[in-house]
Amino acid sequence: MTQFSHLVRCEEDLPRLSSSDTRDLSKDRPSDRDLQRADGCGRVVFGSENGTRVEDIFERSPMRVMFPRTGHRTVEEAVLINTAGGVAGGDRLELCVTALPGASIAVTSQAAEKVYGALNEPARVATRLMARESARLAWLPQETIVFNWARLHRTTEIELFCGAELLALEWLVLGRTAHGEVVIGGNITDSWRVKRDGRLTWADSFRITDEIFPHLHRKALLSDCHALATLIYFGAHLDKRLEFLRELIPTLGCNCAVTLVSGLIVVRFAAKESSDLKLALRSFLQQFGPELGSGPFRVPKMWSC
């Protein structure tokens, strides 16, 4: 009791801080801007001359683009690598992929991307895809895992031209559920913008803030689903392929729906476990890919590594 009363008296003897002093202390709090952060960029252009070839490439650390070969002289798959090992608040990463007429390429990532907790600044990740006339482009990265208190602003901008064919995927996993992690706060904005021949045809944004996370279990929101994906397809015979997908999605083993809007097929996926979503996406690509014929619309080899 004597020791406790001594502590109380010591606390009472401390000088009180005014509101101006408190504001001064807030300036001393660490910020993501004060820390070393990544500013990476990758740009690659694919052309067609006796098969798909790299016409131009630019890289700035920590972004790297690799081209694994499997006995073929032409490029079939490009692999994006973030040598920083993850994304932190304040990071800026940008990737631009252009498929010129006749090119056929699949672009994926080496592993799942991890977005760690931020102090106050969001990580900004921008992907820009362009598919010129008669090009075939598949953007099929592995999942993005969002950790607790992460701040992520991701944009996917796509430029399409008449006669091109594109399949593009982005997916999010909220925490590592296999480790029992529960994401209770953070800020996520995931936006799509698709243009056709220079005209905006589809725009979509998904946003979760600190105030929303406690309510995600509600049926009107995510209903305890922690893994989400959006996939779009642009190409020929949309009505026929839409009917094919409507017959396919009940067999995928997760929540899934498909629609046709503004000349795009849009597919949504949601699952409680990331492993269930990955199995569903694999099954989707294994069955939809052959429907599109030979080319880049298949399960990327890196998904099996």
| CA 132 from centroid of its chain's CA atoms | 23
Q: State residue 204 phi and psi, 5-degree precision.
A: -150, 140
| pTM exceeds 0.75, yes or no | yes
- Cis? peptide before 68, omega within 30° of 0: no
Structure confidence by residue, pLDDT tens digits, 181-202: 888 999 999 999 999 999 999 9
Beta-bridge partners for 84: none
Which of 259, 265, 258 minimizes the C-alpha distance to 236? 265
Which of 125, 56, 64 minimizes the C-alpha distance to 90? 125
What's residue 6's pLDDT? 35
Structure confidence by residue, pLDDT tens digits, 253-289: 999 999 999 999 999 999 999 999 999 999 999 999 9
For tokens 């593009």, the residue is: 168
Residues of the chain with pLDDT below 50 are 1-26
Rounded to whole angstroms, the Cα distance separating 118 from 31 reads 9
What's residue 176's pLDDT? 82
Rounded to whole angstroms, the Cα distance separating 96 from 113 reads 17
Rounded to whole angstroms, the Cα distance separating 208 from 291 reads 35
Rounded to whole angstroms, the Cα distance separating 83 from 140 reads 19
Beta-bridge partners for 165: 136
Alpha-carbon torsion (180, 113, 128, 139), positive or negative: negative
Strands 104-109 and 77-82 come out as parallel
Rounded to whole angstroms, the Cα distance separating 107 from 52 reads 13
* Contacts of 134 by beta carbon, 8 Å cutoff, 6+ apart: 101, 102, 163, 164
